[in-house]
């Protein structure tokens, strides 16, 4: 089976999430909006499920692996819902008595989350479509934690190793430096895996493309007035509608990916 030690990588992402969000979430979890809980629970459950599936398949517990795979069908729309709810909280802070910080940084956060959603939808669809190819299926599933990496690692770096910020922007833009550098580290990791096995390296190439797009657009977002206008327009959409669309997108991805992965029907000649 491929990626024998991948559970350590996923576990490291979980560790980075806890450390990176300790001050802003875990230490004050009782006083944060519901959106943060939905996002945290769904994202960490997704990572836990990946670890469990990986261990199960390497221990030849194929039936358990399949059952957890079916559980991911229910979890995935919930995961996308969590991302959408975070965008909605950010949009509210951008429009309702916004601070200077929110006016500057919120559109960048919003577009970063939107690109993350697109990446998750793409990677999980392809994981289901290629579920009969073990190396591709595993690659697409294990690429998903990289999409979660940038935000907590940026905070992790800012808290424990601020000297790592070699870009050196000042003020709120320094937060976006963290996103760019985190994405760059994840891209280097993904591209290393790609060049180690280019025949089955498409998952890492696709994940790298999304992370590169996220890094570039997010860093330049504050200097793009059109993006701020678009984010303001998004904020006017009822949150219930955007959340419903998020759940629908997650469910549709599951269904479309499953259908795309079915073997072609054999043509049975009809008797003359």
Average pLDDT along the chain, 272 residues, taken 10 residues at a time: 87 93 88 93 95 88 85 96 97 91 94 97 98 94 94 86 87 92 96 95 97 96 94 96 98 97 76 60
Tokens 């006017």 identify what position? 236
Q: Tell me the whole-structure pTM to 2 decimals.
A: 0.93
Task: Give residue 263's pLDDT.
Answer: 86
Can you give the pLDDT at residue 240?
Answer: 97
Write the Ramachandran bin of 246: left for phi over 0, alpha for psi from -120 to 50, otherwise beta: alpha
Domain membership flag for residue 271: no
Tokens found for residue 135: 């190396």
pLDDT at 248: 98
User: Cα(first)–Cα(last) distance of the chain, in Å?
Assistant: 47
Q: From CA 207, how far away is CA 149, in angstroms rounded?
A: 12
Domain span including residue 109? 6-260
Residue 265 gets which letter from DSSP? P
What is the rounded distance in angstroms from the CA atom of residue 229 to the CA atom of residue 236? 11
**251 belongs to a structural domain:** yes
For position 269, what pLDDT does the model report?
Answer: 65
Is 186 within the bounds of a domain?
yes
Residue 268 belongs to a domain = no
Cα–Cα distance between 178 and 180 in angstroms, integer? 5
Query: CA-to-CA distance for 173 and 170, rounded, in angstroms?
Result: 6
Cα–Cα distances (Å) from 110 to 11, 34, 174, 258, in that order, read 27, 18, 17, 29
Number of domain units in the chain: 1
Question: Does residue 77 lie within any of the structural domains?
Answer: yes
Q: What is the dihedral of CA 12, 19, 114, 228, to 10 degrees?
A: -150
Q: Which residue matches tokens 């997704």?
A: 46
């Amino acid at each position: 089976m491929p990626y024998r030690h991948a559970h350590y990588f996923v576990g490291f992402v979980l560790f980075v999430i806890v450390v990176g969000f300790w001050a802003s979430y875990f230490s004050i979890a009782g006083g944060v909006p519901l959106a943060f809980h939905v996002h945290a629970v769904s994202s960490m459950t997704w990572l836990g499920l990946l670890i469990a599936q990986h261990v199960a398949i390497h221990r030849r517990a194929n039936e358990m692996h399949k059952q957890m795979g079916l559980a991911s069908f229910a979890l995935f729309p919930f995961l996308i819902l969590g991302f959408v709810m975070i965008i909605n909280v950010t949009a509210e802070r951008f429009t309702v008595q916004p601070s200077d910080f929110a006016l500057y940084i919120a559109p960048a956060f919003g577009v970063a989350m939107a690109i993350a959603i697109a990446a998750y939808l793409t990677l999980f669809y392809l994981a289901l479509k290629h579920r009969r190819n073990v190396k591709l299926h595993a690659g697409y599933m294990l690429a998903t934690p990289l999409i979660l990496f940038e935000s907590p690692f940026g905070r992790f770096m800012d808290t424990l190793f601020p000297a790592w910020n070699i870009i050196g922007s000042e003020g709120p833009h320094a937060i976006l430096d963290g996103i760019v550098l985190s994405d760059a580290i994840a891209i280097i990791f993904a591209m290393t895996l790609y060049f180690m096995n280019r025949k089955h390296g498409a998952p890492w190439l696709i994940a790298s493309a999304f992370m590169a797009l996220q890094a570039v657009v997010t860093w330049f977002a504050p200097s793009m007035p059109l993006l701020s206008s678009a984010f303001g327009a998004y904020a006017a959409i009822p949150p219930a509608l955007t959340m419903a669309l998020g759940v629908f997108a997650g469910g549709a991805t599951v269904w479309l990916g499953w259908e795309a992965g079915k073997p072609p029907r054999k043509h049975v000649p009809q008797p003359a």
